[in-house]
Amino acid sequence: MTSLDTDDPAWEPTTGGPHLSALLDQVEAWIAADVDEDDKAELRALLDRATADDGAKYPAAVLELRDRFNGTLQFGTAGLRGTMAAGPNRMNRAVVVGAAAGLGAYLADALGADATPRVVVGYDARYRSADFARDTAAVLTAAGAEVLLLPAALPTPVLAFAVRRLGADAGVMVTASHNPARDNGYKVYLGGRVVTDSGQGAQIVPPYDALIAERIAAVGPAAAVPRAESGWRVLGREIVDDYLATVRALSDGAPRRLRIVTTSLHGVGGRVLARALAEAGFTDVLPVEEQLDPDPRFPTVAFPNPEERGAIDMAIALASEARADLVIANDPDADRCAVAVYDPTVGTYQGAETARSHGWRMLHGDEVGALLGVDAVTRHKAPLGGDGRQRTLASSVVSSRVLARIAKAHGFGHATTLTGFKWIARTPNLVFGYEEALGYCVDPENVRDKDGISAAVVVAQLADRLKAEGRTLVDALDDVARAHGLHLTDQLSARFSDLERIGETMARLRAHPPRTLAGAGVSRIQDLSAGVDGLPPTDGVLLEAGDGTRVIVRPSGTEPKVKCYLEVVVPVARDATSYDVGKARVAAHARLDKVKADMRRALGL
């Protein structure tokens, strides 16, 4: 695929791009090699504006072209993700064709000339997702692969399940998960005969990403890449039935008393989650109708990410009105699961009367992770599996340390991994893994990835069992605090339009880290780029104070953000009353607020 060479003498140093004539040549070459008529027309219109009066009449068009041709959209461990538009630095059919051709070349190298790679391809309901999936199927089929296409726009966990269930050597999921509507993406999984260890069926990690990226870079113009007209197989709905059967197997079969409100945030999880809950015995389920069906515009939310403020307000408003017990929200590709509960201790009854003012709140990902961790050791009972190996819980380095304490208390192993399920899912003997960004793997035998559908079912039945005892998930969190100390976590993040500021922010922190966190002296500073505690190097900084307060700062892997992951730990007596635990939470929240203020100053936010 075409890329710009910044050492070329035609490069214009004052504008960060080539001279206009060189840029126009690049654009013309891309148009000639593009495979989509609409994309060609889009670039041609930009080109016409950019050349009016030698670029003086429409300078914005020149700048837009420079950005679109400022290199190529980079393929890495997250695959591809970016804004949908024409040009090499955007998500479009030409870029996808090149990515599919590169993946096909990598599989041919990895398996040998006599092998036929098997690849499963899935897609969500975003704009162009189905087109990108069909292009992938066409390119891989022409390259000699056996391609199995999912039958409809479906959740990412169904694709991850299909890779393992069908013994596929690779899987491709076209999705941008919880990104804004203008974005799309391309996740790659490896399994079958390519990856045969504990990472079989998980998303790619190094060196696979670099090996595939090398093949992509060697692909010629998109129009010259062979594409089959047919030959791939569209799977039947049985693959969804098989996936749901594994989710149903997680059910404890108890009678249900719970009333649940659900939302799919205009994504593809709504109908699949409804079936999963119904087959687990939950019949009193109320979806947010306005957000139930897929809609690539995501019209009722600013960002289709349940972590973002306001994203699940419609769901908790319905829950308050309907006197529900639980809210479950999936992100648009349903690999994440958010949980909201009624917690009378946080009700204010001040100002505007809302579900939040009455006490409805979303649980933090670490809170749900702790609850599911306790549930996992309870479900699996013994810390050793039938093969005599120690069962293991895993969490990412930016997640709460409480899961390690839970595992140790029950004799289970624990692994700390780099951020992302591509790492968590590779943990040997894994029985449960999570990361604080609302990702949970409760059934790694079948899905080596985060799965918002199966996690929802397990959370729902945990809440149901507690309701039968006259208790709630909030009471269960108090139990965790009594047993392992109160671990309270939060996040501070900054979104940047200028990506250079991300590097500058990280450099400022490395040069001038804070000396105290909420008044406690910082006793440990570690640069994660050097590798820490056996973890591979990653861009991040860890700060730890003498009282156990911890902060990890890192750039987001999927958004233009710098994120700070904050955790404070407050001791709680094993016989503490609910009132005592509540007081500990108030103290922990106050300390977190001070840590946030310290980090804002340190990062110059």
Write the pLDDT tens digit of every residue in 339-360.
999 998 876 555 555 666 668 9
Q: How confident is the model at residue 386 (pLDDT cuts 50, 70, 90)?
A: confident
**Both tokens assigned to 518:** 């909420």
Residue closest to 306 by CA, chosen among 437, 202, 171, 146: 437
Q: 299: exposed, middle or buried (C-beta count within 10 Å: 0-12, 13-18, 19+)? A: exposed
- Looking at 71, 100, 117, the residue that finishes a domain is 71
What is the percent of the chain where pLDDT is above 70? 94
Question: Is residue 383 over pLDDT 60?
Answer: yes
Question: Is residue 3 over pLDDT 60?
Answer: no
Question: Is residue 2 over pLDDT 50?
Answer: no
Residues 399 and 469 in one domain: yes
pLDDT value of position 494: 84
CATH code of the domain covering residue 511: 3.30.310.50
* CB-based contacts of 490, cutoff 8 Å, min separation 6: 364, 566, 592, 596
Q: 496: exposed, middle or buried (C-beta count within 10 Å: 0-12, 13-18, 19+)? A: middle
- Choose the weakest-confidence range: 41-45, 261-265, 523-527, 535-539: 535-539
* CB-based contacts of 339, cutoff 8 Å, min separation 6: 326, 327, 328, 329, 362, 363, 368, 459, 473
Q: How confident is the model at residue 4 (pLDDT cuts 50, 70, 90)?
A: very low
Task: List, in sequence order, every residue forming a beta bridge with 542; answer none if it has no partner.
Answer: 526, 552
Span 459-478, average pLDDT = 97
Task: List, in sequence order, every residue forming a beta bridge with 184; answer none if it has no partner.
Answer: 82
- Looking at 71, 93, 122, the residue that finishes a domain is 71
Residues 61 and 142 in one domain: no
What whole-number distance in Å separates Cα of residue 137 and Cα of residue 170? 12
pLDDT value of position 163: 98
Span 232-259, average pLDDT = 97
Structural contact between residues 565 and 551, judged by C-beta atoms closer than 8 angstroms:
yes
Residue closest to 148 by CA, chosen among 72, 235, 63: 235
pLDDT value of position 526: 92
pLDDT value of position 186: 97
Residues 254 and 333 in one domain: yes
Judged by DSSP in three states, 226 sits in coil
**Both tokens assigned to 388:** 């005599």
Residue 520, H or E segment: strand 520-527
What whole-number distance in Å separates Cα of residue 512 and Cα of residue 532? 20
CA distances from 317 to 208, 295, 321, 326 (A): 45, 21, 6, 12
Q: How confident is the model at residue 56 (pLDDT cuts 50, 70, 90)?
A: low
Question: Is residue 373 over pLDDT 50?
Answer: yes
Residues 80 and 209 in one domain: yes
pLDDT value of position 106: 98
The answer to whether the pTM exceeds 0.75 is yes
Span 546-575, average pLDDT = 91
First to last CA, the chain: 39
pLDDT value of position 13: 34
Residues 80 and 221 in one domain: yes
Residues 339 and 405 in one domain: no
CA distances from 15 to 51, 53, 65, 493, 579 (A): 17, 18, 12, 30, 61
Residues 102 and 199 in one domain: yes
**Both tokens assigned to 351:** 């100002």
Residues 184 and 318 in one domain: no
Asked about 497 being catalytic, the answer comes back as no
Q: How confident is the model at residue 54 (pLDDT cuts 50, 70, 90)?
A: low
Residues 575 and 489 in one domain: yes
CATH code of the domain covering residue 406: 3.40.120.10
Span 174-183, average pLDDT = 95
Q: How many CA atoms lie within 13 A of 420 on its CB side?
A: 22
Domain, as residue range, for 306: 241-361
Residues 353 and 494 in one domain: no
pLDDT value of position 55: 57
Q: What is residue 302's DSSP assignment?
A: S
**Total number of domains constituting the chain:** 5
Residue closest to 557 by CA, chosen among 423, 426, 368, 363: 423
Q: How confident is the model at residue 559 (pLDDT cuts 50, 70, 90)?
A: confident
Write the pLDDT tens digit of every residue in 438-456.
999 999 999 999 999 999 9
Structural contact between residues 85 and 95, judged by C-beta atoms closer than 8 angstroms:
no
- Looking at 361, 392, 419, the residue that finishes a domain is 361
Which is the catalytic residue, given 177, 251, 396, 399? 177
Residues 165 and 205 in one domain: yes
Q: How confident is the model at residue 14 (pLDDT cuts 50, 70, 90)?
A: very low
- Choose the weakest-confidence range: 293-297, 330-334, 380-384: 380-384
Whether the upstream peptide bond of residue 206 has omega within 30° of 0, thus cis, is: no
* CB-based contacts of 520, cutoff 8 Å, min separation 6: 545, 546, 547, 549
Residues 579 and 518 in one domain: yes
Span 161-189, average pLDDT = 97
Q: How many CA atoms lie within 13 A of 252 on its CB side?
A: 17
Output 348 or 405, whichever has higher pLDDT.
Answer: 405
